[in-house]
Amino acid sequence: MHTSFNALVTRNQDGQVRSALEPLTTDRLSPGEVTLRTLYAGVNYKDCLSLLGKARIISSYPRIPGIEAVGEVIESRAADFSPGDAVLVHGFQTGIDFDGGLSEVMRVPAGHLQHVPEGLTPQQAAVIGVPGFTVAMALERFETWGLRPDDGMVAVTGAGGAVGRLAIHILSRAGYRVAAITRNLAHADALRALGACDVLDASLAFAPARPLEKARFAAAIDNVGGNTLAWLLRSMQDGGLVASVGNAAGNTFDGSVLPFIMRRVHVFGVVANAPWDERRRLWHRLAHAWAPDFAALAPYVQYIRLSDVLPHAHQQLAGATSGRTIVAF
């Protein structure tokens, strides 16, 4: 017997990518040993690009987008998962090669799933989601390379978005002084409430460039790319560390080798996927040592219905949204 449900399906018809809410049955889903009732699915910038056909992300069509989800197991052919288990999935090309979270029901390979960590509710795990895991990957890399809270300010660009707000909050709770960089200074009070000790206007990145700027930051998490990343690189302290985690302003930037030679700046990329040992370790830290204050985050988390996702995607790509958006099923 095949369960009936609704899902957002993205199709490519004669080169035109379109998404629509459709009724489906489980036999139409990509293969997997575990079937879930979806509880929450984060709506990320990447999902919006997929839904609206603004970038070549999905590998084959039709596909249900959604790069992350939290759900409850309803059927399992895998020994590690039983009906009623609370589980989460992200990475492993979810929503790209495999059907994703923008669906009332998912079918997932067992090797892509993990239980919601002890110490978190399913809703809290969804609030953290891909944005929080991205921050954790960057922070662990910073600390592995020797960064400590007294080394200097940590910059967070795209501070009004989901990754930005979680980065500010998690870093500040871990003892770091955070400079929030945003193009919308109306968010300044909210960013300070989350832990930022300084809020800077993102227009700084578009001032006439010098080979090296004033050394301001010991580390940075960059959600933006483009001119902003170039400015950050020029603005790092000696030995500064930059995590490139997003490209909302573009995939390329103009720069020179001087930050790398004269200030020994290191830059690395982060994508919210990881081997299982790292994945379990970081989720444990997010559930305990790096756990957010969920009450403090609550004003910046928006819950929507599956039927609201397409209008929201247009708004998010236009820069008209902020904070974390989650589909609650």
Q: Show the domain range for 92.
A: 4-116+296-328
CATH of the domain at 233: 3.40.50.720
96 and 217 belong to one structural domain = no
251 and 162 belong to one structural domain = yes
Q: How many CA atoms lie within 13 A of 28 on its CB side?
A: 17
**pTM of this prediction exceeds 0.75:** yes
8 and 33 belong to one structural domain = yes
CA distance 142 to 37: 36
Query: How confident is the model over 43-61, as pLDDT tens digits?
Result: 999 999 999 999 999 999 9
Of residues 2 and 304, the one with the higher pLDDT is 304
Q: How confident is the model at residue 310 (pLDDT cuts 50, 70, 90)?
A: very high
309 and 238 belong to one structural domain = no
Of the candidates 325, 327, 328, 329, the one whose C-alpha atom is nearest the C-alpha of residue 44 is 325
CA distance 246 to 135: 12
309 and 257 belong to one structural domain = no
Q: How confident is the model at residue 3 (pLDDT cuts 50, 70, 90)?
A: confident
Query: How confident is the model over 189-202, as pLDDT tens digits?
Result: 999 999 999 999 99
Q: Which residue has the tokens 């609206």?
A: 52
Contact 301, 127 (CB under 8 A): yes
CATH of the domain at 22: 3.90.180.10
- Which residue type sits at 19? S
Query: How confident is the model over 75-98, as pLDDT tens digits?
Result: 999 999 999 999 999 999 999 999
Query: Cβ neighbours of residue 30 under 8 Å, at least 6 residues apart?
Result: 97, 98, 99, 107
Query: Cβ neighbours of residue 43 under 8 Å, at least 6 residues apart?
Result: 66, 102, 304, 309, 312, 313, 316, 325, 326, 327
103 and 144 belong to one structural domain = no
Percent of the chain with pLDDT over 70: 99
Residue 289 lies in a domain: no
Counting the structural domains of the chain, the total is: 2
Q: Is the pLDDT of residue 2 over 80?
A: no
CA distance 255 to 75: 52
CA distance 150 to 168: 16
105 and 140 belong to one structural domain = no
DSSP, residue by residue, 175-236: T--EEEEES-GGGHHHHHHHT-SEEEEGGGGGSPP-SS----EEEEEESS-HHHHHHHHHTE
